[in-house]
Amino acid sequence: MSRMFLLDHIINPNTNQVEGFCIVRSVTQKSNVKGSDYLDFILCDAGGEINAKLWDYSLEQHGTYAPNTVIKVRGSINIWKETEQLKIDRIRNLRPGEEVDMRLLVPCAPLPPQDMYDALYACAEGFADNDLRMLTQYILRENKEALLRWPAALKLHHAMRGGLLYHTHTMLQAAKALCAVYKGIYPSLDTDLVFAGIILHDVAKIPELSVGELGLASGYSTAGQLLGHINMGVAQVERAAAELMIDDTVKVLVQHILLSHHGMPDYGSPRSPMFPEAEIVSQVDVLDSRLFEMYEAISGVRPGEFSERQWALDNRQIYNHARPGAPAEPEGNGE
């Protein structure tokens, strides 16, 4: 991880004093050799993290702070054992209604969440099949607030604020391009079914993952561990279809896409795809997740070199071939 963005927000060059918003990664109350209390923080933002100290801590004066919350801090940068450390001068929690650019604090999807949500909803609005339109839009509306911040994973692909929408949005664009080709070859290809399956395939990651206001997953929910998003997604479609009185044939086709989108039992799918639209959803899901992992793997790799082995990519090393369009040489190469 690189240097915190906060450390570049210098408000007093003479004292190396900085000010801005950041996140409390951890905080512990301790006592120094003189018996005075202080708070020992690890603070972070989307750029990096730093150890910070609030000396002479007083509950009445300074308040309380919790991990995974946003704070505003003013402090001076010091060097301790050849490492930057922040001596906190002033500190407070984020105030109600106070706006913060979350892109500076946590890894975020590169597109605005509301724009991505609107694109999915508009796609469903264009479905010729009214049952698919109602089902897809109902589930989107039901989960809108969470979708705007939910990640797609705990640690792997699209594990960022808004990552679930970003993964789904990118898959939808890829599927539209594929369907434009294959619809001309196979006129019976049901593009509404493909697009509905893509929009809904991972929505049950919302109850599967434990996610705070920051939009980052801290673990799996109890239901997530016991059932998983595939089974919960099928149940979600069952409930919504009953509420909307959706035709059983349509419901079962959508449920099969959700059941089979991981491709095979070894990857968590109880069924492999058994009709073309389900196959497209499964293959586009694999493609989007693997491309994300590949580009993440080589983002810090010099041109002409290989990444470390990637567990999520079958333990492969990924090569940065350095052709035009390849990731630039990473900063901080030590030279």
Question: Both tokens of residue 145?
Answer: 């607030």
CB atoms within 10 A of CB 260: 23
Asked if 325 and 208 count as a contact pair (C-beta separation under 8 A), the reply is no
Boundaries of every domain in the chain = 5-93, 106-295
Question: Both tokens of residue 178?
Answer: 């594929």
Phi, psi (deg, nearest 5) at residue 28: -135, 135
Asked if 330 and 303 count as a contact pair (C-beta separation under 8 A), the reply is no
What's the distance, Cα to Cα, between the start and end of the chain in Å? 18
Could you read off the pLDDT tens digit of each residue along the chain, which spans 335 residues? 478 999 998 998 888 899 999 999 899 999 988 889 999 999 999 888 999 999 999 999 999 999 989 999 999 999 988 889 999 999 999 999 898 998 899 989 999 999 999 999 999 999 999 999 999 999 999 999 999 999 999 887 888 999 999 999 999 999 999 999 999 999 999 999 999 999 999 999 999 999 988 898 889 999 999 999 999 999 999 999 999 999 999 999 999 999 999 887 767 788 999 999 999 999 999 999 999 988 888 888 888 889 888 887 888 988 988 887 655 555 443 33
Q: Which residues pair with 23 in a beta bridge?
A: 44, 70
The pTM assigned to this predicted structure is: 0.83
Distance of CA 23 to the CA centre of its chain: 17
Angle between helices 130-142 and 228-244 (to 10 degrees): 120
Angle between helices 191-200 and 248-260 (to 10 degrees): 60
Asked if 75 and 30 count as a contact pair (C-beta separation under 8 A), the reply is no
CB atoms within 10 A of CB 334: 3
304 Cβ neighbours under 8 A, 6+ residues apart = 320, 321, 322
Q: Which of 257, 292, 268, 318 is nearest to 166 (CA)?
A: 292
Enter the DSSP assignment of 5.
G
Asked if 27 and 35 count as a contact pair (C-beta separation under 8 A), the reply is no
Please name the CATH architecture into which domain 5-93 falls: Beta Barrel (2.40)
How many angstroms separate the CA atoms of 196 and 304, rounded? Answer: 41
